[in-house]
Every structure is written in C-alpha cells, then in structure tokens.
Amino acid sequence: MTQGPQRRGRQRAGAVLTGIAACGLLLFNTASRKGSTDYADLDAYRRLWGDLAIAITSYLDQRFPAAVVRAEPAVEMGLVLPSAADVYRRILLDRIAKEDVRPTQFWRTVKVQAFLRERGQVGRPLFEDPGRAWLLAAGFRALGGISPFLLLWLGALVCCPILLWTAWEFFDAGQSWSGIAFLAVLASSPFVVEVLAFPRSSAGFYVLASLLLAPLAVYGILGRPTVRGLLLRALAGGLLFALAALCRSGALFLLLGFFLALAVAARRALATLTPSRWLLLFAAASGLFLAPYLAVRPTQHHDIWSAVWEGLGDFDRSKGYTWSDAAAEKVAQAAGASTLKTPQAEAVLRAMVLSDIRRDPLWFAGILARRLFATVTQQKLWPWAPLDGVSMAPSTSPNEGFMHKYFRYTYTVDFLCLGNRQWEIPISLLGLPTLVFAALAGVAWWRRSPADPRMGSGLLLLLTMALATLPLPVLISTAGGQETQTFALAYFLGFGLLAEYLMGRARKRRD
C-alpha cells in the first residue's frame, strides 16, 4: 500500500473517531444538564405543550385512524371541554409518574389507552413554525409510541450527523486540529447544549442550521470540491436545512452564508474557469440546496412583524418600541386587532414600523449600527462574574423589556461545561483566538507569504460564518438572545483555525 492511501485511511479513521467523540460529549452533556427536567414545573410553556399535543394527535391519527375523535373546542351539556393540550399534559404527567420514565430515556414510550379515551383535535396556530411538532410525530412513529421526553432530545439527535459530517470535512481538508478543537468547544458549550434541548422554544434549530454551514463551507473553501461532490453535498445539506427551517423559520436569514459557501465551492470545483460554467454550477448547487425547503414550505410560520416591532426595543429610545408581547398586543388592539397572533395585528405593526423608518431613516440606521456592534462584540456578555460580580450587562431602559430574561433562558455562550459543571470564560478571551488568527491571516496576505498559503482560506471561512449569523440579529433584534449569541460560532471556528496554525508551526519546527 502506498503512503497516500495509508494517510487517507488514517484521516478517515480520525474523522470518524473525532465525530463520534463529539457526539458522545454532546449527548453526555445533554443527559447531565436535562436529566432532572420535571414537566410538572413547565405548565406555562405554551410551545412545549402545543408541540406535544400536535405530535400526539398526529401519531394517534396515523396509528389509530378508526378511533373516535371528539371535536375541540366543543360544548357538551353546556360545558366547554378542556383543550387537547391540557388533557394531554395531564395524561403525560400521570404516565411519566406511573411508568417511571426518566428525562434521559428519550426512547421510552408510554401506554396510549388514556390518550385514546380522551382524544382531541388540535388546531395548528398560524404564526408558529410547524416543523418541531412534525419531527416529533415522526419520532413517535419511529419508536412505535408516544415518548414523553423525546422533544428534549430532538436537537441533539439531529446535531449528531452534522457533527460527524463536520469532522469528516475538516479531516478530509487536512485541517484535523481545526476540526478537533472546533467540535470540542462546540460540544462543551452549555449554550449549545441547552438551546438544542430548550423545550420552550425551537431556537435550537436556528443554531443547528448555523452549524450545518460549517461542513459545507469547509468543503467548499478548505477542501477539494468536485462537481459531483458539491452537488451531492448541496442536496444533503438542503435536506437538513429544510428540516431546520421548518422548525425555526429564522434559519432562512442564514442563506447568505450558504450561498457564499456554494459560490466558492463552485468556482473551485471547475478546472477550466469561465463565468458561464461556474455560474451554472452555482445555480445548480443552490437549486438542489433550496429544493427540499421549497417542496414542503408550509403556510404556517413564525410571526414576523410583531418580532420586528418588539425587536426595535433593543436600541430604540424615542419611539416607544418595547421587547414585550404585552406591549405589542396593546398597540395592535388599540388599532383594532383582536389579539397579537393575528394577521390584523401583523398588518398594524408592519405599518407602524415602516412608517417610522420612512420618516426617520437615520434613526433606523443607528439601531442597525448598534445591533451590529453588539452582535460582533457580544456586548451583553462583557461583564465577568469573578471580576464584576455579574455575568451579563443589566438592562438600561424599559424599552428592552424582557431582553435580560431571554438571554438567561440558557447558559450564555461564554461558558464551557462538562456534565453539570461549568466555567465562565471572559468573552474577550473567547474571541481572542479569532482576532489573533485574523491578524496573522492579514499579515500573511499583506506579505504574500508562501509559508501560510491556507491562511486566507481560513479567514474566508470565518467571514462566511460571521456573515451568515449577522442578518437576523442585525435586521430583527439582538433581544432574542439565542440568535445573537449564535454569532459566537465564528469565535469557535477561530479557535479551531488558530489551533491548526499553531500545530502546523510546531510540526515545521520539529522537522
């Protein structure tokens, strides 16, 4: 056997082992941090019980189509029946206790007889992303029953193939240390672990879509793309992206990064470069990537203009915008809407936002600039508890509403963890490797240094991740917390790229 095949074999074995180790660490941390979850404490989590109710009903309709279904809402003997979500919550809590199902046992199912006896119909909210409920129902069908805690594990289970793919692309591109370091930090981030398992929100699927960019961008920018390889990866990536976007429509804001990665890959895949050929390949790859989402694009989606209206509260101090559903609903009702989650409310809030932007574009430009700075620097996380006594900058205006609470839904991105133990890292230290690598790449480019020919490609990879994760927090709001912190994935990548650079320099010194 020649040295080439031997080396490729070692690379592939290393990629598989690294991917498996990253998956194992992610699942271990998920089990450790979610093992004490008690659904009885989560009565107020509307989206949790709504997703469970839709998934349970979908499973029952498919598995027991002949069962009697009672309409909901319905009136019997003058009394309005409780909603299916309330009924299913009561049954689930009872079955969890009686059958001793643990939060870590996502594969365990409970008996369905009680659900069939009180089976109901569940309406699909117009302004909710339907994908998580669909995915949960598919999981129930795969397991052959209703699993109470599968919802907590959907994000981590979908993340595992992405981690394996990422490891493969890094190793195949000859950037093994980058892959090891990036995946180690990723799987050790309590922010990533907890947002993937957060039962109240599907924001974890926005993080998953962001992570999906990594293997595609590594292949296109650092790897050795071919026409066939690019098209296959575009289709595979498109399937996973469609899943993430159905679960969290905000993932669509990441498309700029994906298109950039596909464009670079198309350009590098062709030995003979002409504008028409690489544009054709780019169009084909982009079409394959978008096709799965376009094929199943739902009529349901997350509300848009209420998020935009409330989001202006992150930095507006003059026009009365506030990061609060209650404040937005009050404004919408004053203009004639019945409640917040309605087309009428969306129209009212849209008109108000666009009117203010047209009348005062400099005001809006100032908000965009402050959002950009806050996202890139992770300004909200500048305090460090050992030095400042707090881990997060406090709110400074009533306009910020519940912004502080949203950031507190999970551990913030400036923590690392192993199981139930966590350590806070100063945000400046977390971002330092990225700054150092960017500076080294800039110097290498300025000097046209042949010693580090891949530094420029690494910098382009960083920029691709950064550009992908900027549009949502900049155009909508930094107040959502999870989407703003997702930008720090560029910090994680910078750490991996700097590790590769330092290990390469160490090898050269030894040689």
Chain length of the chain: 511
Beta strands in 49-131 (DSSP E): 75-76, 79-80
Of 219, 218, 240, 214, nearest in space to 229 by CA: 219
14 with 164: CB under 8 angstroms?
A: no
- pLDDT given at position 260: 96
- Note down pLDDT in tens along the chain; length 511 residues: 445 777 788 888 999 999 999 999 999 999 999 989 999 888 878 888 889 999 999 999 888 886 545 444 443 333 334 578 888 999 999 999 999 999 999 999 999 998 888 877 776 666 688 899 999 999 999 999 999 999 999 999 999 999 999 999 999 999 999 999 999 999 999 999 999 999 888 899 999 999 999 999 999 999 999 999 999 999 999 999 999 999 999 999 999 999 999 999 999 998 766 778 889 999 999 999 999 999 988 777 677 888 999 999 999 999 989 998 889 989 989 988 888 888 898 899 999 999 999 999 999 999 999 999 999 999 999 999 999 888 899 888 889 888 888 898 999 999 999 999 999 999 999 999 999 999 988 887 777 665 466 788 999 999 999 999 999 999 999 998 999 999 999 999 999 999 999 988 888 787 6
208 with 158: CB under 8 angstroms?
A: yes
- State the virtual CA torsion across 436, 440, 445, 448 in degrees, nearest 10: 180
Of 494, 318, 304, nearest in space to 398 by CA: 318
Of 350, 330, 325, nearest in space to 46 by CA: 325
Q: What would the pLDDT profile of 190-217 be if each residue is shown by its tens digit?
A: 999 999 999 888 899 999 999 999 999 9
- pLDDT given at position 2: 46
Tell me how far apart the terminal alpha carbons of the chain are, to the nearest angstrom.
25
Calpha distance 435→400 (Å, rounded):
30
424 with 417: CB under 8 angstroms?
A: no
Calpha distance 165→183 (Å, rounded):
11
| Residue 79, strand partner residues | 76
Task: State the sign of the Cα–Cα–Cα–Cα dihedral 106, 112, 117, 119.
Answer: positive
- pLDDT given at position 72: 44
- pTM greater than 0.75 (yes/no): yes
- pLDDT given at position 81: 43
Largest CA distance in the chain: 87
Domains of the chain by residue range = 3-34+152-301+408-510, 39-148
319 burial via Cβ count (<10 Å: 0-12, 13-18, 19+) = middle
